[in-house]
Structure 1
């Protein structure tokens, strides 16, 4: 997978909370992918916009990082959809 593919998937599937590149500050319930000094980093934030330490992964190549990024976004969408169905919010 490449960046163009990932952007297309996010847009086509309406995946929530996606950030390509390190934002100036973190946002609540988001998934971020960015290039670090030693490769690619994918992480998630919680409802208070804090980085979840156990939700941070490091990759040596872009394709694996993007696969993980899209997988996390899809899981979040499934969770949000189920939560709306069960609890109405």
Structure 2
């Protein structure tokens, strides 16, 4: 959360149970695995965007990487 605040990253769902929204990065824990994926402008999961991790740290690293990429794209 510190990285998200300091770097002013936005548009994400962090292990929250709710409907997907447009253009978000999602991190969820399901059945002892961590799932990371992105949604498109229609709030649908982007095909082939899902990564599945057994290690929480790996999932968090991928999640932050995707949030940073989204910030770069928004700033272009």
- Report the TM-score, using the length of structure 1 for normalisation: 0.81
> Which of the two has higher C-alpha Rg?
1
Q: How many residues align?
A: 76
Report what 1:76 is aligned to: 70
Q: Flag the structure with higher helix content.
A: 1
| Gaps in structure 2 of 5+ consecutive residues | none
| Gaps in structure 1 of 5+ consecutive residues | 1-6, 83-89
1:34 CA drift (Å): 1.0
Report what 2:49 is aligned to: 55
1:23 CA drift (Å): 3.4
Is residue 37 of structure 2 the alignment partner of residue 43 of structure 1?
yes
Q: 2: distance between equivalents of 1:15 and 1:45?
A: 16
- Report the TM-score, using the length of structure 2 for normalisation: 0.94
Q: Deviations over 1:35-79 (max 9, x none)?
A: 111410001000110011211110001000000000000000001
Report what 1:65 is aligned to: 59
1:16 CA drift (Å): 1.7
**Runs in 1 of length 4+ with deviation above 4 angstroms?**
none
Q: 2: distance between equivalents of 1:38 and 1:15?
A: 26
